[in-house]
Amino acid sequence: MHKSYDKYTGDTRLALLKDLSSKLTKQKNVFLKKQINDRDNLIASYEVCLELVKRKKGFRDGELIKRCAIKMANAFGNKEMASKFETVSLSHQTVSRRVNEMSDHVSGMLRNIIQNCKYYSLALDESNDISDNSQLIIFIRTIDKDFNIHEELLQIKPLITGTRGVDIFEALKKIISNFGSFDNCTGIITDGAQSMVGIHTGLVGNLRQIGLKCLFIHCTIHQEALCGKFVKINETMKKVISIINFIRGGNKAQRHRAFIKFLEEMESEYGDIPLHCEVRWLSVGNCLKSFFALRSEVFEFLKSKNIGQQFYEDLQSISFMKSLAFLTDLTSHLNILNLKLQGRGQNICQLFSNIEGFRKKLEIFKNALENNDTTYFSSFQEIKKIENQSVCLIEFKNIITELITEFNSRFKDFYILKPKLELFNNPMTVDISVQPPDFQMELCDLQSDCFLQSKVNLPPEEFWKLCSQEKFPTLRNFSLEILSLFGSTYICESAFSIMNLIKSKSRNRIHDSSLESCI
C-alpha cells in the first residue's frame, strides 16, 4: 500500500483495505458490464443486418426496425430495454458495412473450400439488371475427397466493356485466377447463348484456345424449353394467344373486368385466363390449360357482348378443339418435366435421368396416338365425354416424332456422356468389357466385393463414398468428377430473380459490390 496509509493500524487498517478492495471490484464490474453491453449491441446489430439482407430489404430499413423496437419496448413499459435498443447501431452506413463484412467472411470460407476441393464445375449466365447494366453471374459446385459438396456464388461481375465471348472469357479468367486455376475444373455449363458456346469467338472457343479440356454443357432446362419451342409457333397456339389478348391484353381493362365478372356468374373452374409470357415456358402450359377449361365460357362471353366475331368459327370448330386439347396435354407433360429439372443440389445424373425418362415417354405417346389411345391425353378424353365426338389422334403423331428428333438432337452432348453416367449409376451391373481399360481391373474387384454387393441399393452418391481410396482410386476419382458437375444454370436464374428484388426501381443506385454482398 501507499505510505500515506501507514498511519492506519489494527481494525481501522482492515476496514480500509476492505473498502478499497470493494471499490476496485466495482470499477472492474463497470468495465466488464460495458464490455458485455458493447458485445451484445454488436451481436444485435449483426443479427438485424443479416435478417435485412436475407429478406432483400434496403439498408435504411435498419433505422426503421430500431425505431419500432424502441416504441414496442416503451409500450410494454420496459424503459431499460428501450434504452438498450437506443444503443444498437443500425444506420444505413453501418448496415452496409456489416453486410460487406459478412460477405467478406463468407468469401474467405469459400476460398478455403475451393483450395481444398478435389474438383469443381462452373455455372454461368449473363443478364441485365434494372439499370440495363450487364451482369455476369458465376456459381461454383465443389466436391472434396470426402464427397462433401458445396454450391456457392463465386462472383457477380459487371461486364463494362461488352458481352462478347472474349469479354466473358477475360472476366472469368481473372475471377478464377483470384481463387485458384482451371486445373481441377471438370465442366462449365451455360445457357447456350452464342457468346457462351461459340467455338471460335465464344467463351467455349476462348477456353479451348488456352488448352482447357473440361466438359462444356448446354443447360438442360434451356434445352428442354427449346425442344418445346415449336409449340409456341403452332397455329393453334397463335390463335389462343390472339383470343386471350383480345379479352385482356393491352388497354382492355374494362373488357377484362367484364370477363372476370362473367366467369364468377357462371361459377367457372377458373376465375381468369393468364396472359402468355414469351420468355417463361411454364406460362404456355398454364395458359393452354386455363383456356381449354374455359373454352365454352370464352365463346359465350364473346357472343353475349357481340364482339370477337373473327374467333367464333375456331371456338366452334371440332378441329380447333382437337388441336387445343393435344397442345394442352403435351405442354402439361412438358411442364412436369420442366419442374423436375428445376431446383438446387441436383447432379447431372439426376437431370439426365429425367430427360431420358421423358424421351421414353414420348415413344409411348407416339404409340398411343397410332392406336388412337387417349390414356395419356386427358383433354382428349374430356372432348370425347362432353362433346360426344369421336377423336382421331393419328394426325398428331408427326408432332411427337418431331419432338423426339428435337430431343435427340439437343441432348446429344448428354447422350455422349451416357456410358459414364450408366457406370456411375450402376457400377455393380455394367458390362466391364465395354468400359475404358483404366477402369476394368478395379471394376472386376468392385463387382466381386461382398461388402459393396450388400450396398447396391444405396443412392450412387452414398455408394461411392464406401469405395476405398486404396482399393479403387481410379473409380473413386471418376465418381468425384461426375458428382462435381452442374446439370443446369437454374441456380444462376434463381440468383437473377434475387438480384431483381434487391436492385429494384427504388434501389437502382445500389453499388455492384453491395449487390454482390447482398446476394
Is residue 218 a contact partner of residue 196, using CB atoms and an 8 Å limit?
no
Q: Which residues contact 365 (CB under 8 A, 6 or more apart)?
A: 330, 333, 376, 400
* Domain match, 243 and 387 both: yes
Q: What pLDDT, in 10s, does the model give residues 48-57?
A: 999 999 998 8
Residue-wise DSSP of 455-480: TTTS-HHHHHHTS-TTT-HHHHHHHH
- Assign residue 147 a region: left if phi > 0, alpha if psi is -120 to 50, beta otherwise? left
What does the alpha-carbon distance between residue 310 and residue 501 come to, in Å, rounded to a whole number?
41
Residue 458: domain span: 414-483
Where residue 174 falls among pLDDT bands split at 50, 70, 90? very high
Considering the chain, what is the average pLDDT of its residues? 85
For 374-389, what is the mean pLDDT?
A: 80
For 363-378, what is the mean pLDDT?
A: 91
- Three-state SS for 437-449 is HHHHHHHHHHHCC
For the chain, percent of residues with pLDDT exceeding 90 = 34
Residue 96 lies in a domain: no
What does the alpha-carbon distance between residue 353 and residue 334 come to, in Å, rounded to a whole number?
15
Rg of the chain in Å (alpha carbons): 32
Predicted local distance difference test score (pLDDT) of residue 279: 47
pTM, to two decimals? 0.82
Is residue 350 a contact partner of residue 482, using CB atoms and an 8 Å limit?
no
Predicted local distance difference test score (pLDDT) of residue 32: 46
Is residue 103 a contact partner of residue 513, using CB atoms and an 8 Å limit?
no
Given a cut of 80, whether residue 405 has pLDDT beyond it is: yes
C-alpha neighbours within 13 Å on the C-beta side of residue 356: 15
Predicted local distance difference test score (pLDDT) of residue 471: 95
Predicted local distance difference test score (pLDDT) of residue 193: 76
* Domain match, 233 and 359 both: yes
Given a cut of 70, whether residue 295 has pLDDT beyond it is: yes
Predicted local distance difference test score (pLDDT) of residue 280: 55
Structural element, H or E, at residue 242: helix 235-248
Predicted local distance difference test score (pLDDT) of residue 226: 60
Identify the residue with better confidence: 29 or 214.
214
Number of structural domains the chain divides into: 4
For 369-394, what is the mean pLDDT?
A: 81
* Domain match, 71 and 178 both: no
* Domain match, 235 and 378 both: yes
Q: What pLDDT, in 10s, does the model give residues 150-160?
A: 999 999 988 88
**Quick one: which of 288, 322, 320 has its CA closest to 394?**
322
Q: What pLDDT, in 10s, does the model give residues 30-49?
A: 444 555 567 888 899 999 99
Predicted local distance difference test score (pLDDT) of residue 130: 81
* Domain match, 251 and 339 both: yes
What does the alpha-carbon distance between residue 270 and residue 263 come to, in Å, rounded to a whole number?
8
* Domain match, 367 and 238 both: yes
Considering 410, 436, 460, which residue would you say is the last residue of a domain? Answer: 410
Q: How many CB atoms lie within 10 A of CB 95?
A: 25
Q: What pLDDT, in 10s, does the model give residues 4-19?
A: 655 656 666 666 667 6
Q: Which residues contact 152 (CB under 8 A, 6 or more apart)?
A: 110, 113, 139, 140, 142
Residue 99 lies in a domain: no
What does the alpha-carbon distance between residue 517 and residue 102 come to, in Å, rounded to a whole number?
8
Considering 90, 123, 147, which residue would you say is the last residue of a domain? Answer: 90
Residue 140 lies in a domain: yes
Which region among 98-102, 408-412, 450-454 has the lowest average model confidence (pLDDT)? Answer: 408-412
List alpha helices for 9-128, DSSP H: 10-54, 61-75, 79-86, 92-116
Is residue 478 a contact partner of residue 161, using CB atoms and an 8 Å limit?
no
Where residue 362 falls among pLDDT bands split at 50, 70, 90? very high
What are the φ/ψ torsions at residue 105 (nearest 5 degrees)?
Answer: -65, -45
Instruction: Output DSSP code: residue 78.
Output: -
Predicted local distance difference test score (pLDDT) of residue 249: 66
For 262-268, what is the mean pLDDT?
A: 84
Given a cut of 90, whether residue 70 has pLDDT beyond it is: yes
